[in-house]
A and B are shown apart, each in its own frame.
Chain A
Amino acid sequence: MALIRTQSTRFERFLDALYIPALLRGFRVTTSHLFRRRFTQDYPEEKRTLPVGYRGKHKLNLDAHEHVKCVACYLCGTACPADAILIESAPCPPGWEGRDRYPSKFEIDTMKCIYCGFCEEACPVDAIVLTDAVPDVLEKRGQFVRDREDLVRQPPASWKR
């Protein structure tokens, strides 16, 4: 890179020393910003448009008979790097056709969860998915542990990616 020297005339140096042209240029810049679009998103009132592939709240899917799809294989819990998933396996209640075991307890501690999506990839039956619903803000630590009913209920069934 060559250093380019510019020769300023006496008049230009005089204008510089006056400050005034520079001040007016500055005011023009700031005033033009007065009429520009703002960058701030007004969060609770304005929802963000999330990027494709955003990983938000977990959801447990149901099968054709409205039963939890999960077969309690522990693969998601094993894959989880944050150790946030707690599953207790039990034999299916009578009447669940073609099913062997189901999770009598399925809890995700969303305080531990890092929303990496490994559970979703590990699942052999597409039971657990991460939706693009933004995780909740709650008041007590205990409220962040989501049980099976909660994971099935919300976000609602229509919220599939």
Chain B
Amino acid sequence: MSFELIVDLAKVAFLIGAVLAVVPFLTLAERKGCAWLQDRMGPSRVGMLGIGKRFGLGQPLADGIKLIFKEDTVPAGADVFLFTLAPILVLLPALATLIVVPLGCDIDLLGHRVQLQGADLNIGILWFLALGAFSVYGLALGGWASNNKFSLMGGIRSTAQLISYEIALGLGIVGVALTTGSLSPREIVAAQGGSLFGVPGLHWNLFTQPVGFLVFLVACFAENNRLPFDLPEAEPELVGGYHTEYSGMRFGLFMMAENAEMILLSALIVTLYLGGWMIPGVDPASLGTGWLAGLMTAGCFATKVAALLAFFILVRWSLPRFRYDHLMTLGWKGLIPLGLVNCLLAAVVAVW
């Protein structure tokens, strides 16, 4: 086996392993964060190996064990094949898309130049859009296969919502692609390494295209089916929407997919608008290719992603759910025109 192949396999294993390891703790962070925002305590009964009981460190494990041992019911009249396929279809794209995100600068490992990125696709952003659209199938099929009117409503809602906001999401990306002149996430991050206000490594697209950032951020929330856009699963109206009939680990897969997608979208927001692995105040050219530089840049990337995840949680427990017509109004009459204006400005700047 060649060195490159081993490195590629290791990178893929690391990415999938990292996401699957972070997801359970994200559910814990969600519950703890929610509790703290509501002056409560949150999970405090289960520790891990005797430590962290106060923080419920063992709660994700306990939840996982519970989900695995729960009865896995399939409703009468359900399409069993599609019913099983749906959660897989939601989870797989979320895991597969992360390989195009650059996690840090290039490093020298055993005499080889190694990129801290799963795969350097020059159409990485298109890869994300193509696979991201896949999760719509999962939600719609899950709703359809359940043989339940509430699930079907959830599936239909998710289809309408995700397709509407995919446009805004795309427009948010187009602005960045125009000014960078590339669809490769690697190039997009590299273009954000310049200096702004005299600070090197701060030429983030957030500061050059704030409107585009806003459009992309809101569209990301909608793509993720999270509050304030969680209409597909709206509990008070739809009893849980597309996953009403799911139980046990199938339901667990839906939850894992939602959290994995949250990580993925945070990573993409960081890549496109928050400077990727660029450390503010450090000129990327001066970093070199040592392993320490790789560690520092990857740490910076992880910090930005973690901050965004905290923001996701804060938003979820702060804002009420949109009404469906308001959602569509915001998407079609608000975000899409704003995104178009941003694209126009970006195009003018790019040509000029």
**Which residues of A are interface residues toward B (Cβ below 8 A)?**
23, 26-27, 29-31, 33-34, 36-40, 42
Bound CA span A109–B315, Å: 52
Shortest CB-to-CB span from B213 to chain A, Å, is 13
- The answer to the question of B319 belonging to the interface, with a C-beta cut-off of 8 Å to chain A, is yes
Between A and B, 5 residue pairs with Cβ closer than 8 Å are A34-B36, A38-B36, A39-B39, A40-B39, A40-B40
Pick the residue among A31, A34, A36, A42 that contacts B41 (CB under 8 A).
A42
Contact present for A33 and B38 (CB under 8 Å): yes
Bound CA span A38–B42, Å: 10
Bound CA span A23–B203, Å: 27
**Closest A residue by C-beta to B320:** A26
Pick the residue among B40, B315, B318 that contacts A38 (CB under 8 A).
B40
Residues of B within 8 A of A31 (CB): 37, 314
Bound CA span A43–B40, Å: 13
Bound CA span A33–B317, Å: 11
Contact present for A40 and B41 (CB under 8 Å): yes
Instruction: State whether A37 and B319 are in contact (beta carbons under 8 Å apart), knowing that A27-B314, A30-B314 are contacts in the complex.
Output: no
Instruction: State whether A42 and B317 are in contact (beta carbons under 8 Å apart), knowing that A30-B37, A36-B39 are contacts in the complex.
Output: no
Residues of A within 8 A of B303 (CB): none
Interface residues of B, CB < 8 Å — how many?
12
Residues of B within 8 A of A34 (CB): 36-37
5 smallest CB-CB distances across A and B, nearest first, come from A30-B318, A40-B41, A26-B318, A39-B39, A30-B37
Bound CA span A29–B319, Å: 11
- The answer to the question of B44 belonging to the interface, with a C-beta cut-off of 8 Å to chain A, is yes
Contact present for B37 and A37 (CB under 8 Å): no
Shortest CB-to-CB span from A26 to chain B, Å, is 5
**Interface 1/0 per residue, B18-54 and A, CB below 8 Å:** 0000000000000000001111110010000000000
**Closest A residue by C-beta to B53:** A45
**Closest A residue by C-beta to B318:** A30
Instruction: State whether A23 and B40 are in contact (beta carbons under 8 Å apart), knowing that A30-B314, A31-B314 are contacts in the complex.
Output: no
Contact present for B39 and A26 (CB under 8 Å): no
Bound CA span A33–B318, Å: 11
**Closest A residue by C-beta to B317:** A30
Contact present for B37 and A33 (CB under 8 Å): yes
Residues of B within 8 A of A33 (CB): 36-39
Residues of A within 8 A of B314 (CB): 27, 30-31
Residues of B within 8 A of A26 (CB): 318-319
**Closest B residue by C-beta to A30:** B318
Shortest CB-to-CB span from A27 to chain B, Å, is 6
Shortest CB-to-CB span from A32 to chain B, Å, is 10
Residues of A within 8 A of B41 (CB): 38, 40, 42
Bound CA span A145–B142, Å: 53
Instruction: State whether A39 and B44 are in contact (beta carbons under 8 Å apart), knowing that A23-B319, A30-B317 are contacts in the complex.
Output: no
Bound CA span A26–B228, Å: 13
Residues of B within 8 A of A42 (CB): 41, 44
**For window 310-341 of chain B, which residues contact chain A by CB distance below 8 Å?**
314-315, 317-319
Bound CA span A59–B314, Å: 51
Shortest CB-to-CB span from B120 to chain A, Å, is 37
Shortest CB-to-CB span from B350 to chain A, Å, is 27
Bound CA span A112–B282, Å: 73
Bound CA span A38–B37, Å: 9
Shortest CB-to-CB span from B239 to chain A, Å, is 27
- Supplied contacts A39-B40, A42-B44, 5 more A-B pairs, CB within 8 Å: A26-B319, A27-B314, A36-B39, A40-B39, A42-B41
